[in-house]
Amino acid sequence: MKFIDEAIIRVFAGDGGNGIASFRREKYEPMGGPNGGDGGKGGSIYFESDENVNTLIDYRFVKNYRAKRGENGRSAECYGAKGSDLLLKVPVGTVITEKQSGKILADFERHGDNLLVAAGGKGGLGNVHFKSSTNRAPRQFTSGEPGEEYELYLELKVLADVGLLGMPNAGKSSFIRSVSAAKPKVADYPFTTLVPNLGVVRVDHQKSFVIADIPGLIEGAADGHGLGHQFLRHLDRTKLLLHILDIAPFDELVNPVDEAVAIINELKKYSEKLFIKPRWLVLNKMDLVNNVDEVTAGIVERLDWEGEVFCISAINGHGCKELTYAIMKHIENEKRNE
């Protein structure tokens, strides 16, 4: 299934039913009086997060959603039936924004979260409400109120504890295959992941975290070049970013330090919030380098890197276990400090 992480839709809550003007007409009751009932309330539109829904693909094909209108009132002071509500399911991690104002209406972080987004209109009043000692045969009634309607922007942000940053072919997919049960495509030729991949990393029987393999960035991604800018939003919820760097690129003319600087610049241009998140440097493909310590020291010095640094080989798992233990410890510390 194609991964769809954004959509624009319109929602229309149901209008309220109209009240009516009617009078009792029974044998021996020639002056029965008013008995017009109220109109029913229009149906409302709710959104609910569901862990069984993975993408927003359904909302790409159906753009308009309408709840039922309330029924009109009836005689004998009978109210019209309420219009049925409409419940729309979205993946956990979906953010709903009112497109015109930019106001965030909902941010679903847990399964089963439910929110009223568009309220149905109130039903109109029947003429029974207008009777008085001076107006014994009122013919007034009111129409139902219109339901709310909005144009909504739906945006899915992957719920992950750890996000992977890096140029295409840095080894992010290989790393996530090495430490989790996820099996994103990998190959011995350069290509880039086209959709985010999630993997659950289990450190022991009771401890685990979720890692997200985000499609690779290229220079200019924050300005809309390539695929990376479409998926940077998925890093917003992460507690830690791993900047994976290929220290043995296919092309000998490629400089790993220059690639690292390009990623850092794109991150800063896209979001200051992302830029200040904890970020560790992970040097991958150490199995292809003879003088690992010397190469590592050179990269750290040229980047002026002050954070954590790890050397791994994602293809054979060397150094990956130590890295996952360190990640788990960091996540636990972050949760204690929240």
Q: Residues in the chain with pLDDT < 70?
A: 1-4, 182-196, 214-234, 338
Q: Are strands 64-66 and 6-12 parallel, antiparallel or unpaired?
A: parallel
Give the pLDDT confidence of 280-304 residue by residue, as tens digits: 999 998 888 888 888 889 999 999 9
CA distances from 190 to 2, 167, 306 (A): 22, 11, 30
What's the pLDDT at 1? 37
- 162-337 belongs to CATH 3.40.30.10: no
Give the pLDDT confidence of 198-232 residue by residue, as tens digits: 788 888 877 888 888 766 554 554 455 444 455 66
Do domains 1-156 and 162-337 share one topology? The answer is: no
Find residue 282's DSSP bridge partners: 244, 310
Show me where the domains of the chain are located: 1-156, 162-337
Q: What CATH number does domain 1-156 carry, 3.20.20.20, 3.40.50.2000, 2.70.210.12, 3.40.50.720?
A: 2.70.210.12
What's the pLDDT at 291? 85
Q: List for the chain the helix, strand, coil content (%; round to 5).
A: 25, 25, 50
Helices (H), 40-164: 58-61
What's the pLDDT at 187? 46
E strands along the chain, which residues? 6-12, 45-49, 64-66, 86-90, 94-98, 104-107, 114-118, 149-156, 162-165, 197-202, 208-213, 240-246, 279-284, 309-311
What's the pLDDT at 66? 96
What's the pLDDT at 183? 65
Cβ neighbours of residue 338 closer than 8 Å, sequence gap 6 or more: none
